[in-house]
Each structure stands twice: as C-alpha cells, then as structure tokens.
C-alpha cells in the first residue's frame, strides 16, 4: 500500500516539502487554508489584479515568483486542497472543512507547515477601529489591493515592521510615522550574528532606505502609551514616549502593530506534540529535532510554524522535514547535511534579529489597568491582575478559567503571550512558570451549517468538491 504523506500549508515550507516528496516519487496531499499558494509572505494577489512582483513583494519579488512558479509546476503531481481548514487532528487522521462540508483524511506521515502570526503587546486604546496587526495590514495590501487608512502609523519592532512599511510606501500609501521600540545600540550589539546572512542584512538596509527616500519619520526606542480615538470614529492618533522621555503624538486614522512573529502551534498541540519553554524567544515551542521530527512518530514540523527564522529558512526546513519523513520510511535521501548547515546559519541570524529587535516584555507590567489585553472577550490588564491577587491564578489555563482571557474567537493567538507576561509580572514568577494555553478544537470557528460527507473520500474526490 502506498504511503500517504500530507502537507499542511502551501507557504515556503509547504511548497518545498511537497517538492521533495514528488522528487522521491510520492504524490502528497497539500492542504491549504488559503485560496492560492504562497502563504502569508508570498500571498498571491487575486485574479484580475495586475500589480508586478516588484511592486507587490519588493526585495522578496524574485523568491516569491520562483516559489509560485515551482508550485504551479507541481500541481499535476500532487493533490492540492485549497480553501480547506484543518480544524482538528486525531491519531493519523485530519479533520477538514471546506465551505460547509466536513470529512476526514487519514495519513501515514504529516508535515505541518502552519506558518506564523503577529506577536502582539497590547497598548491602551488598541481596541479602536482602525487598529490592525502588521500581518493584517499586509494582507489588505496583497489580497485586497488597498491600504488600511489614508494616514497610517506603523508601530512595534522587528523586520516585518520595516517590510510592511516599505511595501505601503511603494504602493503609494501615506505613512505618518514608523515607531520602533528597539534602539540603535541593540542593533549594533546584534551585528555579529546578523552578519551570518549578509544578503538578508542587506535587504533590511534596503527597506530602511525606501522609508528614508520617502521621508517617512522613523522614531526608535519609543514606548507606546496610547492609541487615541473613540468608539464612534475609531483611531485618531498614536501617543508614545520617545527614547529621551519626551512625548510624541502622531495624528492618524489607522495603525498597524506587531513585535516579530509567533509560530502557529495549535495544530502541533492537537497532534499531541510535546512543548518546551524556549528562554531565547520567551515562549513555548513544539519540541523538534534538527530535521523537524516532533515527539510524535510520523508528525514533522517545519517553517515558521515550528521556529520563526524567515522565509528562506522555511524553504530549507520544509525540504528537510520531507527528507526526514522519507528517511524514516526507509527511502534514500541526499543533501541533508547541506540543508542542516544552511539552516544553522539562518538560526544564528534569527537570534541576531531577536537581539536587535527584542520582545518588549517590560511593557506588560506598565500597562494601565484599563488596557484591554484580550480583545475578543474585552478582558483588561486590571482584571487579569485581580484574578492573580484574589484567586491565586498564576497558571495560564487557570487564569483563563477565572477571567475568560483567551476564550474568544482567536483562542489566544493575539493575547496569550502578553497575557502571560501580565500574569507573571503580577505574580512575581518567571514567565515559564505561567505555562501556556492548551490548544482546543476547532482551531478556528466552523460554519453552523456544517454537513458531514459519508466516509473518507479520496484526495481527488475532495479536490473536486473543493473546486465545485
């Protein structure tokens, strides 16, 4: 009986994993929540849109076009299921929905390339309409061909801050300011690690030149204080404290925020993978070996969904995970040592990025009590602190039970990290002692009118239903 290998995700990691499997003579199933391949970073524009690769992807244009062309060439050799959500995983079985249809898909090996989402630190007023994540702002530009506002502030830290800002400038949007919480000295200290990938460092410098040429004000070393606005009219301004302590208010009608990325680990959790606390990134990550093997036999994790190291590293880790799956089934593989060596360089570069653009954990303790931490359930920092004081809820899931933080539509994707920081600061315990929110199925909301298909259809039949 043929081995069935399923790849979740069609971003950089998923495409390269599928490519390696096809080269080995297999016909993998690629399940993609998106309508088209590319993932978040190389998200394709809708049919009928004609913006050039250069205008849409900037410094990443060549890699985006290469990945898209490669996936187009693979389609005849894979079973591709776009617009399909994996909402649960049980032993050797995926639970899928597409539209209002539900069915299962069994697998012998599973490669999860689930990607990443924005890592967020709340700020007072971020619930006002017109506040987006950096990733959300990027989706609006790539998928809808529109900006999030007419006068935009981008705030946070990390490479994505400058990538999205540069993409907006190239699209003709007006940026009122870029507000970066990191300092120039932190970047200088990180330079030895950043030199591990000189080309990537060069791309970052190029992005900053785009902003300089457009005369976009860039302030570094800031502390976000408030996103001002009203429930009726939405965002009106952003207020920050500058590095020297002076306050700055920037009028705007939209703001995008984000602090690096966090792996989408819900599917790994539902698959039963063990997690470990990573002191460098200050977050819980699924346990993997050098090649992407998880603690569950037959389940492999790749790309930013396992470790956030960027799109170039994701391509290599996706291929490496596929080779590990082949090797574990007794099939010959080659190029493993080269991929490991390349991935080690990207790992070092990623460590440099964390040093240059650190996660601002200290901001959590300084959040005013009225600041909303969980936007889904409107839970404030003060409510979380009260739960710690009055109920002794110093563990994430216990705090969730008492306060409802993380119980909303996003299931903690956008509040869990900051919520844990608030709890740790209030309880005076290490962040690792707070733990992590356990994954729950469904990972995303399902249609009420969901109907179950009879039995498990073949991959080809599923594809036919998806495209009807």
Report the CATH number at residue 293.
Answer: 3.50.50.60
User: 152 and 99 in one domain?
Assistant: no
Look at residue 237 and tell me whether its pLDDT is greater than 80.
yes
Chain-centroid distance, C-alpha 130: 21
Look at residue 298 and tell me whether its pLDDT is greater than 80.
yes
Residue 65 located in a structural domain:
yes
Residue 456 has a pLDDT of: 52
Residue 468 located in a structural domain:
no
CB 465 within 8 A of CB 98: yes
User: 128 and 254 in one domain?
Assistant: yes
Q: Give me the helices (H) in 75-197, please.
A: 134-143, 159-170, 184-194
CATH number at residue 387: 1.10.10
Contacting residues for 159 by C-beta, under 8 A, at least 6 apart: 204, 207, 260, 310, 353, 357
Whether this prediction's pTM lies above 0.85 is answered by yes
User: 54 and 178 in one domain?
Assistant: no
User: 195 and 125 in one domain?
Assistant: yes
Domain boundary among 210, 236, 259: 259
Residue 108 located in a structural domain:
yes
Residue 256 has a pLDDT of: 98
User: 284 and 196 in one domain?
Assistant: no
Look at residue 466 and tell me whether its pLDDT is greater than 50.
no
User: 180 and 67 in one domain?
Assistant: no
Percentage of the chain lying above the pLDDT 90 cut = 80
Residue 165 located in a structural domain:
yes
* Bigger pLDDT: 3 vs 159: 159
pLDDT (mean) for 431-455: 86
pLDDT category of residue 465 using cuts at 50, 70 and 90: very low
pLDDT (mean) for 133-139: 94
Residue 468 has a pLDDT of: 38
Residue 101 has a pLDDT of: 92
CB 122 within 8 A of CB 376: no
Please state the φ and ψ torsions of residue 267, each to the nearest 5 degrees.
-70, -40
Look at residue 147 and tell me whether its pLDDT is greater than 90.
yes
Angle formed at CA 366 by CA 360 and CA 371, multiple of 5 degrees? 100
Look at residue 464 and tell me whether its pLDDT is greater than 80.
no
User: 135 and 82 in one domain?
Assistant: no
In the three-class reduction of DSSP (H, G, I as helix; E, B as strand; rest coil), residue 334 is classed as coil
User: 236 and 272 in one domain?
Assistant: no
Q: Quick count: other Cβ atoms within 10 Å of Cβ 324?
A: 23
User: 147 and 86 in one domain?
Assistant: no
Q: Quick count: other Cβ atoms within 10 Å of Cβ 210?
A: 19
Residue 255 is classified by DSSP as: E
Model confidence pLDDT, tens digit, residues 88-107: 999 999 999 998 899 999 99
Q: How many domains does the chain have?
A: 3
Residue that has been written with the tokens 């060439």 in this structure: 73
User: 128 and 207 in one domain?
Assistant: yes
Angle formed at CA 370 by CA 366 and CA 373, multiple of 5 degrees? 75
Residues paired with 157 in a beta bridge:
259
In angstroms, the CA 268 to CA 438 distance is 11
- Paired tokens of 260: 């690096």
Residue 337 located in a structural domain:
no
Domain boundary among 207, 237, 259: 259
Residue 454 has a pLDDT of: 60
Model confidence pLDDT, tens digit, residues 240-253: 999 988 999 999 99
In angstroms, the CA 6 to CA 333 distance is 19
Residue 13 has a pLDDT of: 96
Residue 409 has a pLDDT of: 87
* Residue-range definition of the domain harbouring residue 373: 361-437
Residue 300 located in a structural domain:
yes
Q: Share the mean pLDDT of the chain.
A: 92
Residue 82 located in a structural domain:
yes
User: 427 and 385 in one domain?
Assistant: yes
- Paired tokens of 364: 């959590």
- Paired tokens of 141: 């530009």
DSSP string, 392-413: ---SHHHHHHHH-TT-STTTTT
Residue 217: closest CA among 174, 156, 157, 163 = 174
Model confidence pLDDT, tens digit, residues 372-384: 999 999 999 999 9
Model confidence pLDDT, tens digit, residues 186-236: 999 999 999 999 998 998 999 999 999 999 999 999 999 999 999 999 999
Helix (H) / strand (E) containing 241? strand 234-241
In angstroms, the CA 65 to CA 44 distance is 10
User: 171 and 124 in one domain?
Assistant: yes
Residue 346 located in a structural domain:
no
In angstroms, the CA 238 to CA 379 distance is 22
Look at residue 145 and tell me whether its pLDDT is greater than 50.
yes
Model confidence pLDDT, tens digit, residues 18-71: 999 999 999 999 999 998 888 888 888 777 777 788 777 777 788 888 999 999
Domain boundary among 305, 329, 353: 329
pLDDT (mean) for 167-179: 94
């Amino acid at each position: 009986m043929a081995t069935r290998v399923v790849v979740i995700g069609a971003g950089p990691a998923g495409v390269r994993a599928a490519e390696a499997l096809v080269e080995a003579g297999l016909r993998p199933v690629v399940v993609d929540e998106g309508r088209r391949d590319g993932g978040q970073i190389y998200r394709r524009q809708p049919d009928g849109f004609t913006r050039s690769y250069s205008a849409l992807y900037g410094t990443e244009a060549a890699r985006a076009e290469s990945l898209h062309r490669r996936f187009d060439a693979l389609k005849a050799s894979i079973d591709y299921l776009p617009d399909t959500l994996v909402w649960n995983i049980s032993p050797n079985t995926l639970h899928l929905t597409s539209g209002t249809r539900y069915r299962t898909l069994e697998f012998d090996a599973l490669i999860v390339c689930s990607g990443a989402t924005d890592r967020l630190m709340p700020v007072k007023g971020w619930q006002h309409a017109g506040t987006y994540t950096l990733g959300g702002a990027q989706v609006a530009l790539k998928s809808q061909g529109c900006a999030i506002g007419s006068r935009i502030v981008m705030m946070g830290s990390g490479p994505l801050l400058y990538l999205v800002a540069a993409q907006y400038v190239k699209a003709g949007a007006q940026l009122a300011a870029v507000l970066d919480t990191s300092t120039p000295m932190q970047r200088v200290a990180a330079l030895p690690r950043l030199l591990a990938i000189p080309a990537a460092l060069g791309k970052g410098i190029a992005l900053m030149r785009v902003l300089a040429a457009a005369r976009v004000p860039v302030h570094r070393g800031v502390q976000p204080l408030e996103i001002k606005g009203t429930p009726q009219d939405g965002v009106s301004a952003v207020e920050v404290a500058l590095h020297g302590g002076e306050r700055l208010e920037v009028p705007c009608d939209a703001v995008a925020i984000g602090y690096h990325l966090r792996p989408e680990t819900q599917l790994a959790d539902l698959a039963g993978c063990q997690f470990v606390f990573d002191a460098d990134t200050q977050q819980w990550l699924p346990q993997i070996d050098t090649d992407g093997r998880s603690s569950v036999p037959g389940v492999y994790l790749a790309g930013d969904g396992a470790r956030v190291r960027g799109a170039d590293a994701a391509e290599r880790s996706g291929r490496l995970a596929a080779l590990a799956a082949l090797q574990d089934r007794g099939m010959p593989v080659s190029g493993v040592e080269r991929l490991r060596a390349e991935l080690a360089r990207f790992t070092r570069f990623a460590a440099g990025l964390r040093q240059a653009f650190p996660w601002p954990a200290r901001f959590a303790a300084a959040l005013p009590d009225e600041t909303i931490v969980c936007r889904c359930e409107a839970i404030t920092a003060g409510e979380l602190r009260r739960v710690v004081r009055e109920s002794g809820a110093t563990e994430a899931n216990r705090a969730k039970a008492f306060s409802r933080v993380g119980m909303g539509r996003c299931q903690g994707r956008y509040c869990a990290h900051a919520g844990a920081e608030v709890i740790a600061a209030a309880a005076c315990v290490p962040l690792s002692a707070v733990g992590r929110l356990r994954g729950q199925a469904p990972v995303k909301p399902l249609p009420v009118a969901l109907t179950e298909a009879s039995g498990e259809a073949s991959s080809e039949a599923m594809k036919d239903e998806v495209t009807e």
